[in-house]
């Protein structure tokens, strides 16, 4: 069993992004600039956005954080996005999700200029992804693909099972794994809350991506000997022993599953770290760098 170490892969990716950023600045005088919109003060969102901003600084990007109160109106939010769309010095725009209930998420995502859609959530980005065209790929599934590539994991012709059909992770993950690319070329089964015989389907998989958000969901009986297990779960659970008061738990029962796998990602220290590297990659792309 080998651990797929997000720390190592993300650090390597960030070093490369840092070098390409310097080249881009020297060649055409452009510094990649990410603008993040954060609404309210949800603890997890605060942490993620702070980490995105910090990582931008680390690789030499500019960043702007725009904050709104929880009760911001949809029209004010749209106005802010339009301003960023028109601002030539901003290359990437992200609106941290989830949004408050009174705001129409689809409408907000639709307002982002697709050329600046570094989250890859805009319908144009999604459409291009489905058609195998060059586009912004959502950060979490892109991070998983970067990891598979780094560790040279064979995916061609493999049976991959993705658990979870979210627009952010599961669905784009299933598209990427089935694409005619390397990594890719898997036979993909996309499972969800209404799937029957999930245990059996998982137990036949060569690659499992667990992205359903239920801690310890994937048990040892659901995993084939030698499978590759990718854990996308990042649920906060109360843990009084931790200074923060919570621990981050994955969707995989790591303790019991790990020994059975050929490769497995830990939580924390796995896919989570890759999502930031993938966002940086998208922002560099939005700024026109190679």
Helices 6-28, 43-59: crossing angle, 10 deg rounding = 50
Determine the interface stretch with ligand GUN among 9-17, 57-65, 95-103, 246-254 (rule: CB under 6 A).
Answer: 95-103
Residues whose CB falls within 8 Å of the CB of residue 28, separated by 6 or more in sequence, listed in order = 288
Site for ligand GUN in 166-205 (CB under 6 A): 168
Residue 253 designated active-site? no
DSSP state of 218: B
Contact status, residue 209 vs residue 176, Cβ threshold 8 Å: no
- Binding test (CB under 6 A) with ligand GUN, winner from 95, 202, 227, 228: 95
Of residues 14, 52, 116, 158, which has the active-site annotation?
Answer: 52
Q: Is 276 exposed, middle or buried (0-12, 13-18, 19+ CB in 10 A)?
A: buried
Regarding 119 and contact with ligand GUN (CB under 6 A), the answer is: yes
Strand partners, 218: 252
Rounded Cα distance, 81 and 52, in Å: 18
Determine the interface stretch with ligand GUN among 71-79, 91-99, 106-114, 174-182 (rule: CB under 6 A).
Answer: 91-99
Regarding 53 and contact with ligand GUN (CB under 6 A), the answer is: no
- CA 92 and chain centroid, separation: 15
How big is the site for ligand GUN, counted in residues (CB under 6 A)?
A: 8
Of residues 96, 249, 251, 285, which has the active-site annotation?
Answer: 96
Give the tokens for residue 91.
């290359």
Of residues 14, 116, 117, 119, which has the active-site annotation?
Answer: 119
Residue 206 designated active-site? no
Q: What is the nearest approach in angstroms of ligand GUN to the Cβ of residue 278?
A: 9
Q: Give kind and range of the element (H or E) at residue 39.
A: strand 33-39
Residue 52 designated active-site? yes
- Binding test (CB under 6 A) with ligand GUN, winner from 21, 55, 63, 96: 96
Mask: binding to ligand GUN, 131-170, rule CB under 6 A, as x and -? --------xx---------------------------x--
Catalytic positions: 52, 96, 119
């Amino acid at each position: 069993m080998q651990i797929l170490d997000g720390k190592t892969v993300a650090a390597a990716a960030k070093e490369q992004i840092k070098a390409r950023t310097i080249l881009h600045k020297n060649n055409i005088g452009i510094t990649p600039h990410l603008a993040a919109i954060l609404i309210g003060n949800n603890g997890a969102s605060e942490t993620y956005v702070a980490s995105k901003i910090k990582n931008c600084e680390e690789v030499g990007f500019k960043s702007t954080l725009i904050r709104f109160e929880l009760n911001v109106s949809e029209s004010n939010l749209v106005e802010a996005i339009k301003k960023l769309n028109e601002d030539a010095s901003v290359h990437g725009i992200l609106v941290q999700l989830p949004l408050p209930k009174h705001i129409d998420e689809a409408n907000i995502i639709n307002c982002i200029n697709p050329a600046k859609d570094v989250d890859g959530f805009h319908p144009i980005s999604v459409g291009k992804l489905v058609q195998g065209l060059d586009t912004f790929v959502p950060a979490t599934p892109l991070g998983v693909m970067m990891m598979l590539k780094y560790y040279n994991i064979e995916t061609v012709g493999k049976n991959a099972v993705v658990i979870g059909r979210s627009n952010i992770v599961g669905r784009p993950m299933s598209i990427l794994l089935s694409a005619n690319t390397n990594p890719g070329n898997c036979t993909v089964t996309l499972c969800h809350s209404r799937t029957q015989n999930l245990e059996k389907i998982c137990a036949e998989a060569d690659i499992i991506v667990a992205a359903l958000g239920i801690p310890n969901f994937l048990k040892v009986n659901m995993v084939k000997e030698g499978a590759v297990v990718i854990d996308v779960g990042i649920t906060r659970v109360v843990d009084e022993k931790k200074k923060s008061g919570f621990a981050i738990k994955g969707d995989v029962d790591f303790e019991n599953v790990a020994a059975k796998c050929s490769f497995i990602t830990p939580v924390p220290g796995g896919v989570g770290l890759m999502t930031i590297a993938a966002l940086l990659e998208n922002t560099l792309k939005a700024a026109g760098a190679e």
